[in-house]
């Protein structure tokens, strides 16, 4: 007897391994999966500009990287004592404007230089609902706690979001011919505007990903949203806020991700790295004991053995 609607997808035709360069852009799913990829020592650039939820600001970030353009210094704003920019996350802000500008420009320059060698781009879309400044039609990436009176709410249409992402993706492909793009829709619910609007928003995003897959042969879809909403489908897989997937849910989707994108040899290497990672998290009762010193030597030996077998691994 089956007690839930399980979802299976075939293996990805272009498997991901530790030698590939990977970038993840978008909302919380990117962070959850990207953190695992970094933990297991993949060459992974995780949201270098911070978390972004709406497709249009994501496309604009991709254009910053593609063109290598720097934001106009006059477009930085002071919010609660911190200089911030509407196109970037607050993590790039600073109490010193020059520091904020330098930090952001350095990231743009670094990502531009690495774009030609990028093999995989994962884009996670969070919501179609965004905000624009009242004198500008561009959807901002972050409101930075600026008073709501300065913004107008907008629920972007499918074709506008699709066009923005399609153009940005096509530009990246011209610079990185090997690039494979994987789109996902975040299962995190944005219920600030209500559950009904959230479901409409997710439906729009799902249409965006479907149109991108139909228009661009190097774009595919990974069903993280469906695994959370239709396969797990239970509040026991959520955090206390009943919005964000909990660790058990992330573990489950990571397992599906691994089965879809990795070969057996890559999963075997992940297990070896995981063993070392867990050993490094060990906190000894007595660091000076003979037993712990033996443990430390064994850990160093295990690392050395792993590097002999995989000399290119960044561990």
pLDDT tens-digit map of 138-148:
999 999 999 88
- Tens digits of residue pLDDT in 262-295: 999 999 999 999 999 888 888 888 888 888 888 8
Domains for the chain: give ranges and CATH numbers: 21-263 (3.40.50.1110)
How much is the pLDDT for 281? 85
pLDDT the model gives residue 314: 85
Instruction: Specify the pairing of strand 21-26 against strand 120-125.
Output: parallel
pLDDT tens per residue across span 4-39: 888 889 999 999 999 999 999 999 888 899 999 999
Mean pLDDT by 10 residues, the chain (315 residues): 84 96 92 94 95 96 96 91 94 94 96 96 97 90 90 95 98 97 94 91 98 98 95 92 93 96 97 91 83 88 92 87
Buried b (16+ CB within 10 A) or exposed e, 112-131: bebbeebbbbbbbbbbbbbb
Backbone φ/ψ region at 80: left (φ over 0), alpha (ψ -120 to 50), beta: left
CA distance 29 to 125: 9
d(CA 160, CA 55): 9
Alpha carbon distance 228, 222 (integer Å): 12
How far apart CA 143 and CA 55 sit, in angstroms, is 15
- Cα 33 from Cα 10, distance rounded (Å): 19
Give residue 5's pLDDT. Answer: 84
Q: Are the CB atoms for 237 and 246 separated by under 8 Å?
A: yes
C-beta of residue 195 within 8 angstroms of C-beta of residue 253: no
pTM: 0.93
Report, in this order, helix, strand and coil percent for the chain, each rounded to 5. 50, 15, 35
Cα–Cα nearest to 15, from 226, 264, 216, 256: 264
């Amino acid at each position: 007897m089956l007690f839930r609607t399980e979802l299976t997808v075939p293996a990805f035709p272009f498997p991901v391994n530790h030698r590939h360069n990977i970038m993840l852009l978008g909302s919380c799913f990117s962070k959850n999966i990207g953190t695992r990829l970094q933990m297991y020592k993949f060459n992974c650039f995780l949201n270098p500009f911070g978390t972004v939820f709406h497709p249009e600001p994501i496309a604009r970030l991709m254009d910053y990287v593609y063109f290598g353009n720097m934001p106009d210094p006059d477009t930085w704003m002071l919010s609660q004592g911190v200089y911030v920019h509407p196109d970037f996350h607050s993590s790039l802000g600073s109490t010193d404007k020059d520091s904020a500008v330098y930090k952001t420009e350095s990231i743009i320059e670094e990502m531009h230089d690495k774009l030609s060698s990028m093999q995989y781009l994962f884009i996670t879309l969070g919501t179609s609902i965004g905000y624009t400044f009242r004198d500008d039609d561009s959807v901002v990436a972050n409101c930075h706690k600026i008073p709501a009176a300065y913004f107008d709410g907008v629920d972007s249409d499918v074709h506008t979001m699709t066009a923005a992402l399609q153009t940005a993706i096509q530009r990246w492909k011209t610079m990185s011919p090997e690039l494979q793009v994987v789109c996902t829709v975040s299962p995190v619910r944005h219920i600030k505007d209500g559950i009904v609007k959230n479901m409409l928003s997710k439906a729009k995003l799902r249409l965006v990903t479907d149109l991108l897959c139909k228009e661009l042969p190097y774009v595919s879809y990974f069903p993280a949203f469906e695994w959370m909403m239709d396969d797990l489908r239970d509040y026991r897989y959520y955090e206390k806020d009943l919005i964000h997937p909990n660790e058990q849910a992330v573990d489950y989707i990571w397992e599906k991700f691994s089965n879809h994108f990795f070969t057996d040899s890559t999963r075997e290497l992940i297990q070896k790295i995981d063993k070392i990672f867990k050993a490094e998290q060990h906190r000894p009762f007595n660091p000076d004991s003979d037993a712990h010193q033996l443990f430390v030597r064994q850990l160093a030996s295990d690392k050395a053995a792993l590097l002999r077998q995989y000399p290119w691994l960044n561990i």
